[in-house]
Amino acid sequence: MRKSGPPRGLISYIVLELLEEKPRYGYEILKEITDISGGHWEPSYGSVYPILYKFEEEGYAERIEREDEPDRKYFALTEEGHDHLAEKRTEIGGNARDFADVILGFYHMYVAFATDGRFDVDPSDDDWCFDDEYSGWIAEQVIRHHERDFGEFERVPDTPEEFHARQGDADAPDGDGTGDGDVSGDPDDDERPEEAATDGGTNA
């Protein structure tokens, strides 16, 4: 069970990957992360720019001048930055469970607001609310994305314990496949997922 928000090092890893692709400036990185998330998440300026300046101090990135945009602060990855990126890929590759905990934790909270009698929240002005219809919509979007990127979705009959045992994950938390499990993921205010798409398509 995670006791914090998004996996540590996530933003810095994405910044490194985007800088390896091509030199970029801070706002461009923010918008690219938003696009990658389907419009549901944008880190704050206060999280991306310090990372760029820190990378510059540590020699992982360097500023470059562009004659066509002299006022923008572009950053490019250095050789040391490429080496650091290789390390970050290994680090983030080991955080898949953390990602799952964040996703499941938020979904459990969504359902709890809809079904747990201890909560009594008012509907929002944009017609979104905590109920079975919108819960189903969220699940539908996840399935559509799965099928778009991985192929036809097949229900997984395993209990959480059975699934993790099949994967050889003896230390997995209990109850992460039902509404009875622990709720995890406690994001910072500037790193919370935000709903941007409401057309029922595959951009959730």
The two structure tokens encoding residue 17:
């990957």
pLDDT digits (tens, 9 = 90+) for 131-181: 999 999 999 999 999 999 999 999 999 998 899 899 887 666 655 445 444
pLDDT of residue 172: 63
Say which CATH architecture domain 10-93 belongs to.
Answer: Orthogonal Bundle (1.10)
DSSP state of 38: T
Specify whether the CB–CB gap between 92 and 7 falls below 8 A: yes
Q: 3-class DSSP state for residue 86?
A: helix
In the numeric block, the tokens 């300026």 are attached to 45
- Segment 186-198 shows an average pLDDT of 37
Query: CA-to-CA distance for 75 and 27, rounded, in angstroms?
Result: 12
pLDDT digits (tens, 9 = 90+) for 9-45: 899 999 999 999 999 999 999 999 999 998 888 888 8
- This prediction has a pTM of 0.74
Q: What are the domain boundaries of the chain?
A: 10-93, 96-191
182, pLDDT greater than 60: no
Q: Which of 46, 45, 53, 55 is nearest to 17 (CA)?
A: 55
Other CB atoms within 10 A of residue 204 CB: 19
Q: 3-class DSSP state for residue 25?
A: coil
Residues paired with 74 in a beta bridge: 64
